[in-house]
Chain A
Amino acid sequence: MLLAGLVAPMVASQSILHLVNLTMIAIIGALALNLLTGFAGQLSLGHAAFLAVGGYLSHFFSTLDLPFIVVVPAVMVVGSVIGFLVGAPALRLRGLYLVLATVGFHYIALFVIHVYQSSGEKSILALTGFLLPTVDFGIFKLDATFKWTYCLGFFLLLTTAFCINLTRTRIVRAWIALRERDITAAALGINVPLYKLKAFVVSTSLTCMAGALLVYYLGAVSSENYTLDLAVSYLAMVVIGGAGSVLGSYLGAIFVAVMPFLITGLFELVQAGPRFQLRYIVPSQIVAFGLLMIMFLVFEPRGIVGIWRRIRVYFELWPLRRSILSERRD
C-alpha cells in the first residue's frame, strides 16, 4: 500500500493533486498553530500575518538570487527571530488580551507588507503581488504538480516527525501545564516566560516555513490573500481537529481544506442551476464553515480527536462505568 501511495501522485489527476498539495501545506500550518494554541494555550489570530511574512521574506530572498534550499531555512531563521520579537512583549498578556494583541499585530504587519508591496517597483504586477521563480534544485525542477506533491510530502513528514518528537519532550509537557494553569505552572517551577517564548519561536518559524512553501508552490505572493479570516480558518482547523494533538492538526486541516469541495459537490448533487450556484456557493461554504466551527465548540470542544477519545473511554469504562470508584456494599 505504501508503494501505491508513493506511485500514485504520478498518475493522479491535476486537480486532485493540487488539492492534496494545498492540504499538505495547510496541515503544516495547522501543526504550527496547534503547537502555539493547542499545546501551549496561547490563543493567536496572527497566523495569517506570519504566513504572509514567510511568503514575502521568501520573495525578498529570491530577489537576491538565493535558491530555494537556502531560502527556506533562511525564512525559518528569520521567522524564529520574529517569533521572538512578537512573543517577548506578549509574555505579559494572557487570554483575551493576547488574542487582541495578535489581531493588532495582524493588521500592522499587513500594513507594512502593503507598503512594501506598493513601493519599490511601480509596475502593475507589483501592485497586486510578486512572482516567484520556479524552484530549481539543479538536478531537477519542481515544475509539475506531482513533483510538488513529493516535495511537500517530504516537508510534511519532517514537520510531523518534529512535532511528534516534541510531544515526547519536557517542552510540550511544560506547554500543557502552561495552557491549563499558568500560575500553577509557575509555582511548580516551570519558567513560564521562557516556555511561552519557545512556543512562539517554534510556531512562528514553522508557520513562516509553511508560508514560504505556499508561495513557491503558487509561484506568486499577494497581500490580499492574507486576511484575518485566513487566520480564523487555521484556528478552526485546530479546534475542529483537536487542540493539543498532532493527529488533530491533520484531521482539522483536511476537514477544513476539503469541505468547500464537499459543498460544491452537494450543490451539484442537488442539481442547482449555474446562476444559483454562482451566487450561493461561496457564501454557503462560508456559512457551513462558521456553523461547523460553532457546532464543534458547543458540542465537542476537543474536536474530532475528542469525539474519538470519548468513544474510546466509553467502551473502556463500559461495564464499570459508574461504580468504578465507589464500591457498592450490596
Chain B
Amino acid sequence: MIGDILFLASIYVMIAAGYVIVYSSSRVLNFAHGDVFMISAFMGFSVVSALSLPALFTFPVAIAVGIIAGFAIYAILMSPIAGQPVFAAVLVTIGLGIILRAIVIVGFSGQVIFPGRALGIDNSMINVVAGISMTRYSLVAVASSVVVMAALLAFFRYSKLGFEMRAASFDARLAAYRGMPIHLLFAIAWGIALGFGAFAGGLYGMNNQIGVETAFVGLKALVVALVGGMDSLSGAIPAALIVATLEVLLQRYVDPHLSEVVPFIVLLVILFLRPWGLRGTKEIIDRV
C-alpha cells in the first residue's frame, strides 16, 4: 500500500510541477494540463505499438508530445491574449482541454487501454524495503520523480536561464526592457511544464489503465499544486504526499468512491484556511 501511495504521489508531483511552472510564468491555471497528460499517455502507447518499437520508447514519444504541446499552446494561444484578464487564458485552456478529450474519443473510440499489459512489459512486484513492495514501473516512477524535481529545483535556483525565467515571471515588461526574450522564455517554461506532465503520463500508463477520464488525475494534481503553493515547486512535494496518502487510505478503508472527492475537500479546506498553500507567496495576483 505504501507503494501505491508513493507511486500516486510521484505522478501527482510531476504533473503539479507543470501547473506550478506555468502559473509562475504566465499566471494562468492551465486546465488543459490534465488532458495533455492523458493524450501523451495515449500517443506514447499508440506510436510504440503502431511502429512496434520497444516499450521504453513510450517515454521519449510522450515527452516529445508534451514539449511540442507546451510550445504550441504558448505560441498559438497564450501570447495573443497577453494583457487580457486572466480568466480569458483560463477559459482558453478549458476550451483546449475539451478539444483534446474529443480527439482522444475519436482517435481511440472511447476505449480504455492497458498500455502496460498491451506492450507486454515486465511489471512484476519488487520488494524494495522490508514491508514495502511495488511494481517495477512504480519504482521507476518514484525514482524518476525524485530526479526530475531535484533537477527542476536546481535549474530555477542556480542556472542563468532559470534566473531569467524567474525574472520574466515576476515582471515580464521589465525583463523585456532588460533584454530578455520573454516570449522565448515563456515558451520554454510551457514546454518544460508540459513535457514533464507528459512524462508522468507515460509512467502512469505503464502501471494503470488509461481512458478519457484519465484527465481527471490531472485535475486532482491541480489540487496538489495549490496545496503546495501555486508558485512553489518545492511545496508540491509534501503536498503530493499528503493528498496521495489521504486518497489511498480513504479509498482502502472507508469508501472507494471517496477517492474522487477527497482531493476537492482538501482543496476547499486549503483555499479557506491557507490559500497560498504550504510554501507559496501570499499575494494573490490576477494578471496575465
CA gap between A161 and B272 in the complex, in Å: 36
Given contacts A283-B105, A293-B92, contact A89 B272 (CB under 8 A): yes
- Contact-residue size bin, chain B (C-beta under 8 Å from the other chain): 35 or more
CA gap between A329 and B29 in the complex, in Å: 50
Asked if A291 and B99 make an inter-chain contact with CB atoms under 8 angstroms apart, the answer reads yes
CB under 8 Å from chain B, chain A span 266-317: 279-280, 282-284, 286-287, 289-291, 293-294, 297-298, 301
Asked if B98 and A297 make an inter-chain contact with CB atoms under 8 angstroms apart, the answer reads no
CB under 8 Å from chain B, chain A span 254-276: none
* Residues of the A chain whose Cβ atoms lie less than 8 Å from the Cβ of B94: 232, 235, 293
* Residues of the A chain whose Cβ atoms lie less than 8 Å from the Cβ of B91: 235-236, 239, 293, 297
Given contacts A95-B87, A283-B102, A301-B84, contact A101 B95 (CB under 8 A): no
Asked if A96 and B99 make an inter-chain contact with CB atoms under 8 angstroms apart, the answer reads no
Q: Taking each of B77, B80, B87, which has the highest tally of chain A beta carbons within 10 Å of its own beta carbon?
A: B87
* Residues of the A chain whose Cβ atoms lie less than 8 Å from the Cβ of B90: 43, 96, 99
Asked if A116 lies at the interface with its beta carbon under 8 angstroms from chain B, I say no
| Chain A 84-119 near chain B by CB (<8 Å), digits 1 or 0 | 000001001111110111011101100100100000
Asked if B210 lies at the interface with its beta carbon under 8 angstroms from chain A, I say no
Asked if B268 and A293 make an inter-chain contact with CB atoms under 8 angstroms apart, the answer reads no
> Which A residue sits closest to B80, measured CB to CB?
A298
Asked if B86 and A95 make an inter-chain contact with CB atoms under 8 angstroms apart, the answer reads yes
> Which B residue sits closest to A292, measured CB to CB?
B95
* Residues of the A chain whose Cβ atoms lie less than 8 Å from the Cβ of B200: none
Given contacts A95-B87, A99-B87, A283-B106, contact A290 B98 (CB under 8 A): yes
* Residues of the A chain whose Cβ atoms lie less than 8 Å from the Cβ of B86: 95-96
Contact check: which of B77, B103, B265, B284 meets A283 at CB < 8 Å? Answer: B103
Asked if B264 and A297 make an inter-chain contact with CB atoms under 8 angstroms apart, the answer reads no
Asked if A136 lies at the interface with its beta carbon under 8 angstroms from chain B, I say no
CB under 8 Å from chain B, chain A span 208-232: 229, 232
Min CB gap A195→B, angstroms? 18
Min CB gap B12→A, angstroms? 16
CB under 8 Å from chain A, chain B span 254-275: 257, 260-261, 264-265, 267-268, 271-272, 275
CA gap between A96 and B286 in the complex, in Å: 7
Given contacts A293-B92, A298-B80, contact A287 B99 (CB under 8 A): yes
Given contacts A100-B222, A100-B226, A104-B267, contact A290 B96 (CB under 8 A): yes
Asked if B109 lies at the interface with its beta carbon under 8 angstroms from chain A, I say yes
CA gap between A235 and B91 in the complex, in Å: 8
Given contacts A95-B284, A99-B29, contact A287 B102 (CB under 8 A): yes
* Residues of the A chain whose Cβ atoms lie less than 8 Å from the Cβ of B260: 107, 111
Asked if B95 and A294 make an inter-chain contact with CB atoms under 8 angstroms apart, the answer reads yes
* Residues of the A chain whose Cβ atoms lie less than 8 Å from the Cβ of B143: none
CB under 8 Å from chain A, chain B span 91-115: 91-92, 94-99, 101-103, 105-106, 109
Chain A contact residues: over half helix, strand or loop, or mixed?
Answer: helix
CA gap between A301 and B85 in the complex, in Å: 10
Asked if B98 and A105 make an inter-chain contact with CB atoms under 8 angstroms apart, the answer reads no
Asked if B98 and A229 make an inter-chain contact with CB atoms under 8 angstroms apart, the answer reads yes
Asked if A104 and B286 make an inter-chain contact with CB atoms under 8 angstroms apart, the answer reads no
CA gap between A43 and B286 in the complex, in Å: 12
* Residues of the B chain whose Cβ atoms lie less than 8 Å from the Cβ of A93: 271, 275
CA gap between A30 and B161 in the complex, in Å: 45
Min CB gap A35→B, angstroms? 16
CA gap between A206 and B109 in the complex, in Å: 38
* Residues of the B chain whose Cβ atoms lie less than 8 Å from the Cβ of A92: 272, 275
Asked if B88 lies at the interface with its beta carbon under 8 angstroms from chain A, I say yes
Asked if B174 lies at the interface with its beta carbon under 8 angstroms from chain A, I say no
Min CB gap B228→A, angstroms? 14
> Which B residue sits closest to A294, measured CB to CB?
B95
Asked if B99 and A290 make an inter-chain contact with CB atoms under 8 angstroms apart, the answer reads yes
Asked if A100 and B267 make an inter-chain contact with CB atoms under 8 angstroms apart, the answer reads yes
Asked if A297 and B92 make an inter-chain contact with CB atoms under 8 angstroms apart, the answer reads yes
* Residues of the B chain whose Cβ atoms lie less than 8 Å from the Cβ of A97: 271, 275, 284
Q: Taking each of A96, A99, A111, which has the highest tally of chain B beta carbons within 10 Å of its own beta carbon?
A: A96
CA gap between A96 and B226 in the complex, in Å: 11
CA gap between A232 and B87 in the complex, in Å: 13
Contact check: which of B97, B106, B219, B257 meets A280 at CB < 8 Å? Answer: B106
Asked if B81 lies at the interface with its beta carbon under 8 angstroms from chain A, I say yes
Min CB gap A283→B, angstroms? 4
Asked if B95 and A297 make an inter-chain contact with CB atoms under 8 angstroms apart, the answer reads yes
| Chain A 222-250 near chain B by CB (<8 Å), digits 1 or 0 | 00000001001001100100000000000
> Which A residue sits closest to B276, measured CB to CB?
A97
Asked if A294 and B267 make an inter-chain contact with CB atoms under 8 angstroms apart, the answer reads no
Pull 28 A–B residue pairs with CB atoms less than 8 Å apart, ordered by A: A95-B284, A95-B286, A96-B86, A96-B87, A99-B87, A101-B267, A104-B223, A104-B267, A104-B271, A107-B260, A108-B261, A108-B264, A114-B257, A232-B94, A235-B91, A279-B109, A282-B105, A283-B102, A283-B106, A284-B102, A286-B102, A289-B95, A291-B99, A293-B91, A293-B95, A294-B92, A297-B88, A298-B77
By a beta-carbon cutoff of 8 Å, the part of chain A in contact with chain B is: 43, 89, 92-97, 99-101, 103-105, 107-108, 111, 114, 229, 232, 235-236, 239, 279-280, 282-284, 286-287, 289-291, 293-294, 297-298, 301
The 3 closest A-B pairs by CB, nearest first: A95-B286, A293-B95, A290-B99
Given contacts A104-B265, A297-B92, 10 further A-B contacts (CB under 8 A): A43-B87, A95-B286, A100-B29, A101-B272, A103-B267, A111-B261, A279-B109, A286-B102, A290-B99, A290-B102
